[in-house]
Every structure is written in structure tokens, then in C-alpha cells.
Chain A
Amino acid sequence: MRRLLWQALRRPVTLPRPAASESALAELAESVDLAAKRRLGRSLSIRQVDAGSCNGCELEIHALNNAVYDLERYGVRFVASPRHADVLLVTGPVTTAMREALERTWTATPEPKWVVAAGDCAAGGGLFADSYAVAGGVADVVPVDLHIGGCPPTPTQLLRGLLALLEATPDNVRTRK
């Protein structure tokens, strides 16, 4: 039986690498610092923060770790603490109850750091923007370097945005433009 299970994995299930998102590269042009890129090399550690999402974004972020998208092959991985992170990947409209937790997580993340706001809610509150319980989009609370749209963004959309972050140096953003 064990052999049978391994056989199921023998055929590659992993999708080929998608291209980095052009719109993300353009948005990153101003915020990515060349010196920071030199220090980080080609790896990123991500701390995910749910600041008020419906959990749809989390499901798709989870999917990045499955064998089909296999995020770790690009040197990108999720870490358990903001202290270990280069990137905060934030979802949801930021609720008033999560605002302080998000600010504290951002403060706990060492420089250099980037914030990626994932999902339509994270961009400006989405459908929840007018609520008494919502502080707004992620950029209303912490500085955002990159938005990845979608409700929720698909794993491929997320991957294209994160790859853009890996590839974006001021030089290559300029040449692509």
C-alpha cells in the first residue's frame, strides 16, 4: 500500500512557473530598495496576518504550499513569527479589533520589510469598507508595497505577485517598463 501511495506522487503534479506579474512589478518600482535585495538574495520569508478576512484568502494562501503550486521551490516560505519575516502578507479589511495586532506585528518585523496586501478587501475594505467595525484597507494601517487583487486571489495570482517581489530590483523593473 505504501508503494501505491508513493506511485501516486511519482508523476509530477507541480505546475510550471508562472511569469511574474507585470502590474506588480510596476507597483514595486518605487518601493524596492536595491541594497535590501542584495542582502536578501533570492529568498523570502513570509508572515501571514489575517486582519479580518472571511478566510477565503487564507484557503488560497494555504494552497500555495500544496504540491501543485509548491511555493518553496522558489525560495519563498511561510514562517511562524514576524521576527523571522521579510514580508507581511496581510488579508482582509482591517477590523478595529485587529488594527493594533497588525500594527504590532508590523513593528515586530525587522527591516528591510515589505507589506503585501492580498485580496480585494485588503485593498480598501472591499464590501466592508463602510462598517463601524472596519478600520479600512491594509494601507490605512501600515505602509503597503504591493497589492494582489482578487476575491480571493487564486494561488496563481498570489504566486505571480510574490515572484514579482523576488525579481523586482530597481534595475529590472526599469528595463521591463
Chain B
Amino acid sequence: MTGGHTLRGTMVPHHRPWPRQVLDRYDQPALPAFLAASDAELFDLWADAGVVHAALRDPASGAFAVASVPCPKGRFASIAAVRPGAIRLERAIRDLFGYEPVGSADARPWLDHGRWPQAAPLGGEPGGERMEQASETPDGPPPYPFLPVEGDGLHQIPVGPVHAGIIEPGHFRFHASGETVVRLEARLGYVHRGIEGLLAGTDLARAARLIGRVSGDSTVAYAYAFARAAEAATGTEPPPRAVWLRALMAEMERLANHLGDIGAICNDAAFALMHAHTGILRERMLQAAEAAFGHRLMMDRIVPGGTAGDLDAAGIQAIRDAAAEIGKRFPGLVRLYDQTASLQDRTVSTGIVRPDYVALYAAGGFVGRASGRSFDARRDAPYPPYDRLRFDVPVRRDGDVNARVWIRIREVEQSLQLIEQILAGLPRGQHRTELGPSSGEGVGLVEGFRGDVMVWLRIGADQRVERCRPRDPSWFQWPLLETAIEGNIVADFPLCNKSFNCSYAGHDL
């Protein structure tokens, strides 16, 4: 892949659009060695029957590939030492499949809280009852050892899983010296619904509905990525109109979420007026989505083979009107943000994420782009119709809360322009086609509002899902939140957290 370093293995047929190769068995430690010597980015790491797959990207050429590592006796060589973004992915593989990452940096469970009826539920071992010592004791589930912090005058602040606001569940353990955060450690997995288990063996229609509920705020992005994966696996070409309608929904979703986030960040800095204004604009976009597509969040509207419904003239007008209103009102809000000193005082230089961390974790979305990593799947892993649309990918290097707000502001402006272009260029014709009957493996990578959403899929001969893996961008963003808060005061955590807006449900699956 990268000059001088190669991975030897057997190419797998019918894996689209990226190549996949199974590494030679004796070559097993080749993957960590390869990664140590190259700057290949890790896009996902997930398990399958008897094998672990790694999705990789060469940043120099932009080429993607999947490397599959056989797991003899349920063991594989850990890559977390060279790609720290893999730490939690490897812990999740151990929890779900029981495969042991040899040389792993962290032996603790991650998604498994010791409350499932069986250990390694996807491991496929018949009668895989949870072992006695790991199961729930009369005193409750096994304790979870947080990373130790030592020093004078340190205190712990446990927060969650039930929080003070309307927010998803997760646990945050702060170690603070006075008001200053010395270490934050997140514990997630509370919203684990076992989606990968539910997907296996199901038909594509039900799988699409499940995928659309991995993370509700990104339901369009997930359905989009799944549809592209299913079409790649079966060699199906969706009709041009469907392709453009999908991009339209994706931009509407991005717009609504960014508007909500910009206001919510300001609200956490005690500036509620911005929240009131952006709340109205967000609502306008959701109402337009309902008028145009029959659902405010556009859930279940993208399906393998196209879109569930068409868009009529009234729907187009509703979207045009909402976009025009946002386009008229938004510049005033941007000035308000830029010129309110009390707000800037909270956001500038707060919660800085270092550019080298973002590069090391291959963090996507506004978290990556606010800290210098210029990756946007719409441009860098291009898919139609974005290869025919004009847009900029904003990038900053300051990496603070303010930078993440500005990336969102610029993306709102870009999405408004994209919506205009899409409505102007929307092709005529059918909006859905039948999927081809063939089986195979496919990948879909799309840019959601939060970052790149990836779905890997294997379809069997009976047109059922054999294995499906949805990957949320939050996997590579959550760990960076822990670095961003370090040295900040506890009271700035909500601001830092909101500026990341990582997904709990998408990560926990």
C-alpha cells in the first residue's frame, strides 16, 4: 500500500469497491509491523467468523483497502500500540467475539458490562454461557477499574450514566485538582443494543431499518452508507434521481444537526438567545423534511436500490423556502456569535485537540477538520453525485471549541449551497431499482454530519445479511475528548462535550 511496505495475502473476489485480501496465516503479525512502518490510517477494525478485518486508507494516494487477519485459536496480534484508535475496537472485539488481541494495551471489557446473559455473544461458540467469574454476583456486576490517578488533593467526580439534561447515557469519571481536570475517563456501552447480532441472518429490508436506528441523528447517513454497501455487494446501480435525492437528504440532515449544535454549544456557554434562534431554523428544516419526505428525520427514506419515495414539486418548494429562510437569517447569527465577547471568552482556547492526535486517530468530521485533518468522504472517497457538485471542505488548526463551532458554521453555508445545486440539477426518472440477485461483500462510506460513517456488509446467496458492521465516526472522536478536557476546568466540560457531540448510541451499537 504505502511505498516500501506491503501486505502479502490472497485477494478476495466480489468485495467492492475496495480490494480485500486475507493475510497469510504465518504472516499474522504482519499487520502491526506494516502499520508501524507506514502512515496508513485505520478506518475500522471488526471481527467476523475466525477473522479480524482492518479497513485502511493510505493518506498519500487516498486508496482504501481491507486487510483480513486470520485468528487461529481466537487470537490476533494487537495493533493498538501503533494505532491507539484501535484500543477500544479491540476491547469491543474481545467482548463481542471473544477473540483475544495479543499484546493488547487494555485488558478491561468495553461494551460488556457483565450483564448480558452470555459472554462473547457473537463468538458463535455453541452453548457459550457466561463464565461464572464474569457473571453478575449477588452484589451486582463485576467492578470496573478506572485508570488510577495519584497525587495530593485529587478528587473524583463521577457523572452518569443518567445525566442532568436530555442526553444519552454514558459515564464520565473526572479526576480533578481543585477545579482543574487532571484526567477524564469515559465509560460507554450503556446503549449497547446488540445491533450487529440482530443484523446477522436478517433480510435486507429489516437490516435497513435497523441500520437507520444505529444513531437517530445520523439516520440518513447510516441508511445511505448501508444502501451503498448493499449495492456494491450486489453490483447494483441505483437510478440517478435516487442518487441525487440521497445527497439532498444528507445535506438537510447535516444542516439540521449543525444548526442544533451551534445553538446548543452557545447555550452551554450561557448564551440562550443563539439557541432560541438556531432552534427555530432547525425546526424549519425538519418541517421541510416532513413536507418533502414524510418524516422529520427522514428515517427509512433511503433504501438499498434507491429511495423509498419520490420528491414532488410541493416538497421541492418546501425545501427551497426553508433553505431561503435559513440563508437569510443565518449570517446575522454568525455575526452575533463572532461579536459577543462573553461567548468568545468561553469558546476560544477551550478544549484544544492537538493536530497530531487527530492524525494518529484518523478522527473525522468537525473534530478532525478543526484540528487540521482535511478529510471529507464526499471529496476524498467520492461518491455520486458529490463528484459533480461544487463545495469546499473547511479546515482549521486551532482545534478549540471555537474552531469546532466555525467548522460547523462554514459547513452550514456549504450545505445551503449544495441543496441549491442539487435541487437545480435533480435528474428525472425512477427513484428505485431492484437489487441484483448476486451475493458478495460491499463497503459504503459516506460523510455524515459528525464525520465518516462506514458500513461493511456481506450478503449470502439467499439475499440475507451474513455479517454487517456499521462503524460510527465517534469511535475515533470519544478518546480525543478525554485529551481535550485535560487542564481545563470542570465547568467547561459541557462546552467541550457539546462541541464534540459524539454519538453514544452509534458507538455503543
Check if A67 sits within 8 Å of B161, measured CB to CB.
no
A99 at the interface (CB under 8 A from B): yes
Given known contacts A53-B216, A151-B299, A58 and B162 CB-to-CB distance under 8 angstroms: no
Chain B nearest CB, measured from A66 CB (Å) = 4
Interface string of A120-154 (1 = CB under 8 A from B): 00000001101111100000000000000001101
Residue from B121, B297, B333 with most neighbouring chain A CB atoms (10 Å): B297
Q: For A56, list chain B residues within 8 Å (CB).
A: 213, 216-217, 219, 297, 299
List residues of A (37-51) whose CB comes within 8 Å of B's CBs: 48-51
Given known contacts A49-B162, A132-B121, A55 and B505 CB-to-CB distance under 8 angstroms: yes
Q: How far is the CA of A4 from the CA of B198 in the complex (A)?
A: 51
Chain B nearest CB, measured from A149 CB (Å) = 14
Candidates B161, B167, B193, B194; contact of A58 at CB < 8 Å? B167
Check if A13 sits within 8 Å of B280, measured CB to CB.
yes
Check if B283 sits within 8 Å of A50, measured CB to CB.
no
Q: For A63, list chain B residues within 8 Å (CB).
A: 279, 282-283, 286
Interface string of B266-293 (1 = CB under 8 A from A): 0000000100110110110010001000
Q: How far is the CA of A80 from the CA of B277 in the complex (A)?
A: 23
Candidates B113, B118, B299; contact of A132 at CB < 8 Å? B118
Segment at the interface with A among B175-183, B184-192, B414-422, B481-489 = B184-192
Q: For A4, list chain B residues within 8 Å (CB).
A: 332
Check if B332 sits within 8 Å of A1, measured CB to CB.
yes
Q: For A154, list chain B residues within 8 Å (CB).
A: 290, 296
Candidates A2, A5, A62, A133; contact of B193 at CB < 8 Å? A133
Check if A98 sits within 8 Å of B332, measured CB to CB.
no
Given known contacts A53-B191, A128-B198, A130-B198, A66 and B282 CB-to-CB distance under 8 angstroms: yes
B210 at the interface (CB under 8 A from A): yes
Residue from A60, A100, A132 with most neighbouring chain B CB atoms (10 Å): A132
Residue from A5, A50, A51 with most neighbouring chain B CB atoms (10 Å): A50
B456 at the interface (CB under 8 A from A): no
Residue from B166, B198, B290 with most neighbouring chain A CB atoms (10 Å): B166
B115 at the interface (CB under 8 A from A): yes
Check if A50 sits within 8 Å of B297, measured CB to CB.
no
Chain A nearest CB, measured from B343 CB (Å) = 13
Q: How far is the CA of A170 from the CA of B133 in the complex (A)?
A: 51
Check if A132 sits within 8 Å of B164, measured CB to CB.
no
Given known contacts A55-B504, A127-B198, A132-B197, A60 and B296 CB-to-CB distance under 8 angstroms: yes
Check if B198 sits within 8 Å of A131, measured CB to CB.
yes
Q: How far is the CA of A39 from the CA of B300 in the complex (A)?
A: 44
Check if B194 sits within 8 Å of A97, measured CB to CB.
no
Residue from B167, B206, B290, B505 with most neighbouring chain A CB atoms (10 Å): B505
Interface string of A59-95 (1 = CB under 8 A from B): 1111101111000000000101110000000001101
Q: How far is the CA of A152 from the CA of B446 in the complex (A)?
A: 23
A35 at the interface (CB under 8 A from B): no
Chain B nearest CB, measured from A69 CB (Å) = 8
Q: How far is the CA of A55 from the CA of B198 in the complex (A)?
A: 19
Check if B193 sits within 8 Å of A52, measured CB to CB.
yes
Check if B193 sits within 8 Å of A95, measured CB to CB.
yes
A25 at the interface (CB under 8 A from B): no
Check if A101 sits within 8 Å of B283, measured CB to CB.
no
Residue from A2, A4, A67, A95 with most neighbouring chain B CB atoms (10 Å): A95
Chain B nearest CB, measured from A38 CB (Å) = 29
Q: For B166, list chain A residues within 8 Å (CB).
A: 48, 50, 58, 61-62, 78
Q: How far is the CA of A53 from the CA of B280 in the complex (A)?
A: 24
Q: For B216, list chain A residues within 8 Å (CB).
A: 53-59, 152
Q: For B283, list chain A residues within 8 Å (CB).
A: 63, 66, 68
Check if A59 sits within 8 Å of B217, measured CB to CB.
yes
Check if B297 sits within 8 Å of A5, measured CB to CB.
no
Check if B209 sits within 8 Å of A127, measured CB to CB.
yes
Check if A97 sits within 8 Å of B210, measured CB to CB.
no
Q: How far is the CA of A100 from the CA of B114 in the complex (A)?
A: 13
Q: How far is the CA of A82 from the CA of B318 in the complex (A)?
A: 40
B329 at the interface (CB under 8 A from A): yes
B459 at the interface (CB under 8 A from A): no
Interface string of B133-166 (1 = CB under 8 A from A): 0000000100000000000000000000110111
Q: For B504, list chain A residues within 8 Å (CB).
A: 55
Candidates B116, B190, B329; contact of A98 at CB < 8 Å? B190
Check if B190 sits within 8 Å of A101, measured CB to CB.
yes
Chain A nearest CB, measured from B455 CB (Å) = 15
Q: How far is the CA of A150 from the CA of B258 in the complex (A)?
A: 24
Q: For B279, list chain A residues within 8 Å (CB).
A: 63, 65-68
The residue on A at minimum CB distance from B278 is: A66
B350 at the interface (CB under 8 A from A): no
Interface string of B209-223 (1 = CB under 8 A from A): 110011111010000
B390 at the interface (CB under 8 A from A): no
Check if B213 sits within 8 Å of A127, measured CB to CB.
yes
The residue on A at minimum CB distance from B264 is: A62
The residue on A at minimum CB distance from B190 is: A97
B103 at the interface (CB under 8 A from A): no
Q: How far is the CA of A122 from the CA of B445 in the complex (A)?
A: 31
Given known contacts A56-B216, A127-B209, A128-B193, A101 and B162 CB-to-CB distance under 8 angstroms: yes
- 4 A-B pairs with the lowest CB-CB distances in the bound complex, closest first: A56-B216, A66-B279, A131-B194, A80-B164
Pairs A–B under 8 Å by Cβ, sample size 18: A2-B336, A5-B277, A49-B162, A51-B169, A52-B169, A53-B505, A56-B216, A56-B299, A59-B216, A59-B260, A66-B276, A66-B280, A67-B279, A96-B115, A98-B161, A127-B210, A134-B194, A152-B297
Q: State the B residues within 8 Å of A (CB).
A: 113, 115-118, 121, 140, 161-162, 164-169, 189-195, 197-198, 206, 209-210, 213-217, 219, 260, 273, 276-277, 279-280, 282-283, 286, 290, 296-297, 299, 329, 332-333, 335-336, 339, 503-505
Q: State the A residues within 8 Å of B (CB).
A: 1-2, 4-5, 8-9, 13, 48-63, 65-68, 78, 80-82, 92-93, 95-101, 105, 127-128, 130-134, 151-152, 154
Apart from A132-B118, A133-B194, list 11 A-B contacts with CB within 8 A. A50-B167, A52-B190, A58-B168, A67-B280, A82-B162, A97-B192, A99-B115, A100-B140, A127-B206, A127-B210, A131-B195
